[in-house]
Amino acid sequence: MKSLAELAKIRDEAKNKIDLRGKKNTRIVVGMATCGIAAGARPVLLALVEEIKKRNLNDVEVVQTGCIGVCVLEPIVEVYNETGEKVTYIEMTPEKARKVIADHIVNGKVVSEYTIGAKKA
Closest-by-Cβ residue to ligand FES is 67
- Nearer to ligand FES (CB atom), residue 7 or residue 38: 38
Least Å from the CB of residue 72 to ligand FES: 8
- Nearer to ligand FES (CB atom), residue 36 or residue 94: 36
Least Å from the CB of residue 69 to ligand FES: 5
Binding site for ligand FES (CB under 6 A): 33, 35, 67-71
Least Å from the CB of residue 40 to ligand FES: 13
- Nearer to ligand FES (CB atom), residue 48 or residue 76: 76
Least Å from the CB of residue 34 to ligand FES: 6
- Nearer to ligand FES (CB atom), residue 51 or residue 74: 74
Q: Comparing C-alpha atoms, which of 97, 60, 58, 90 is closest to residue 73?
A: 90
Torsion of CA 62, 66, 70, 73, to 10 degrees: 40
What residues contact residue 58 under an 8 Å CB cut-off, 6+ apart? none
Q: Comparing C-alpha atoms, which of 72, 71, 48, 69 is closest to residue 60?
A: 48
Report in angstroms the alpha-carbon separations of 111 from 18, 27, 37, 85, 115.
31, 16, 23, 15, 7
